[in-house]
Chain A
Amino acid sequence: MTKPVSSRRRFLLRAMGFGSALFLSGCDRLSRSEWFPKVLDSAEKLTLATQRLVMPRKAMAQEFTAADLSHEFRSNGTNNPDNPAYQALAANDFVDYRLQIGGLVAHPTSYSLDDLMALPSRTQITRHDCVEGWSAIGKWKGAQLSRVLEQVKPLPSAKYVVFYCADPMDAIGTRYYESIDMEDAWHPQTLLAYELNDEPLPIDNGAPIRVRMERQLGYKMAKYIMQIQLVDRFDNIAGGKGGYWEDQGYEWYAGI
């Protein structure tokens, strides 16, 4: 009786080892296939639809107190754009900076830093969540994007706000960009931020202007914004996925 049991056990162990190796290489092959990531992507649409369903439109991200501030606000990604035009602006304290807002709007406008600071501002102490898993808490001050939108007047066909940035991300000069939908664009906590922790926004963190949009992950909150376009689609922009990291395979909807 013992012999068949032990050979059966040996067979089972071998089968398990073989099975798990097969399973792992199978999963990695699926990750590289053309079709399977598309199946996985269906979850993103389900997540967006469900979160929008259960989350009130104006639900506010949690705001904290000064006691909760992180000692230093971590700089991630670009910390100083390797771009001569940007460096020239920075050398002159962004006096010549002009934020162009155009696309599907009734009144395309260009704002200097002073123009943006003259708009009604909002200050918020919020938590920044990186896709990598870490969080940092900072105090942000900026113009609400909604105030800017009220001035430029989006056309009814506008569905997304696209932010074009100064920072090149690779050797061929692909620039960072991001897009958000109108629901997030009008949200009260969505800012064109120019101050971090009561100081002018440092270059490390996106000077002169970065987006704050507190209900999504950090990579949605583009830094070094040079231009804003309102569009009805983004599949014709750069890699077509709506953002630099999206073009590398990250989700467009980063509320999770």
Chain B
Amino acid sequence: MPAHDAATPVRTLVYRRHAWPVRLMHWINVLAFILLLMSGLQIFNAHPALNWGLSSYNAHPPILQMNARMDEQGKPIGVTRVFGHEFNTTGVLGLSAGMDGQPTERGFPAWITLPGEQWLSMARRWHFFFAWVLVINGLAYLIYTLLSRHLTRDLTPTRTDWRSIGQSIKDHLRFKHARGEAAQRYNILQKLAYLSVIFILFPLLILMGWGMSPSLDSIFSGWVGLFGGRQSARTIHFIVAWLLVAFVFIHVFEVIINGLWNNLRSMITGRYKIEAVENEHD
């Protein structure tokens, strides 16, 4: 990718991109999210099926289910059933190497669950501790982002942003990233992605976690029914967790192609380098 015409004079400009509270809260969130995801998958493994509705024992089969069974040759295989379609997922889902290396019936494999071995009570301890970390950190972030005007200044789309949405989609598909002064601001897709994570996905994830708590259910009788019931809440919790994983993949991909070291440094020390291109009109 030719960065610029060799004749164009280039100035490198370093500026402070992320304030320290944002940096700190970002990394606390990274740690909490990873631990919550992994312990959550261990909790899922205690009953590796998802239902829609009030209970798990209604007339409908699970919409997702993982288990092990024998194939025609009498060999154990791991299978995943999604909406009635069965997939052979031996080695990853349904049947995978346990801590002793032997094939073991389990939903998600040991390398992605916390703890690795089947250990529900320990997973719950990790999960509920870091759920508090995530919630307190999230609240601190919300307060900070409002008081510091980070939200209105950096994250709220402007009218110009909305008009640039078509161009932004094209740029993203061509992996073309902003340079110069434009790189100081988030683009519209980036803003929308961050806003959906902050105001839709994480709140929904937390709410559906609460929806699985039999005591929080009772605060306003029937509120979990608005989401389809407790088993639906469990299903939504699972789906939203994976949507957040999808966000993380896209986020990390964009970080890498837009300059891994520069972006990583800006989230650690705050310093972000941009090339101020002279004579640029856009």
Contact = CB atoms under 8 A, between A and B. Distances in A.
Given A43-B125, A134-B47, A135-B54, A60 B221 contact: yes
Interface in A4-62: 12, 24, 27-28, 31, 37, 39-44, 46-47, 51, 54-56, 59-62
A37 B49 CA distance: 28
Interface string B114-127: 11100111101110
A250 interface: yes
Contact of B128 (A43, A216, A245): A43
B108 to A, nearest CB: 13
Interface string B1-44: 00000000000000000000000000000000001001000011
B166 interface: no
A73 B111 CA distance: 34
B115 A74 contact: no
Contact of B56 (A136, A249, A255): A136
B55 interface: yes
A25 B199 CA distance: 34
B152 interface: no
A70 B55 CA distance: 7
B175 interface: no
B230 A51 contact: no
B106 interface: no
Which of A62, A73, A129: most chain B CB closer than 10 A? A62
A72 B57 contact: yes
A214 B215 CA distance: 8
Nearest to B221: A62
Given A24-B116, A62-B224, A55 B219 contact: yes
A216 B44 contact: no
A216 B218 CA distance: 10
Contacts of A255: 213-216
Contact of A136 (B55, B120, B212): B55
Nearest to A215: B215
B124 A215 contact: no
Contact of A39 (B129, B216, B219, B231): B129
Interface string A130-156: 111111110000000000000000000
Given A24-B111, A135-B55, A250 B215 contact: no
| Chain B at the A interface: SS class | helix
A59 B121 CA distance: 27
A62 B47 contact: no
Interface string B121-148: 1101110110110000000000000000
A54 B215 CA distance: 10
A223 interface: no
Contacts of B54: 64, 68, 127, 135, 137
Question: Chain A contact residues: over half helix, strand or loop, or mixed?
Answer: loop
Contacts of B124: 131, 250-251
B57 A28 contact: no
A62 B218 CA distance: 6
Contacts of B221: 59-63
Contacts of B234: 133
Contacts of A40: 125-126, 128-129
B222 interface: yes
Contacts of A37: 122, 125
* Max chain B C-beta neighbours (<10 A), residue from A54, A68, A250, A256: A256
Contact of A31 (B122, B128, B222): B122
Given A40-B125, A51-B215, A215-B215, A62 B55 contact: no
A256 B213 contact: yes
Nearest to A135: B55
Nearest to A189: B218
B218 A59 contact: yes
Given A43-B128, A133-B234, A249 B121 contact: yes
Given A24-B111, A135-B55, A135-B231, A51 B216 contact: yes
A130 B47 contact: yes
Given A61-B217, A217-B214, 11 more contacts: A24-B114, A28-B114, A31-B119, A42-B129, A55-B218, A62-B217, A64-B54, A251-B125, A255-B213, A255-B215, A256-B214
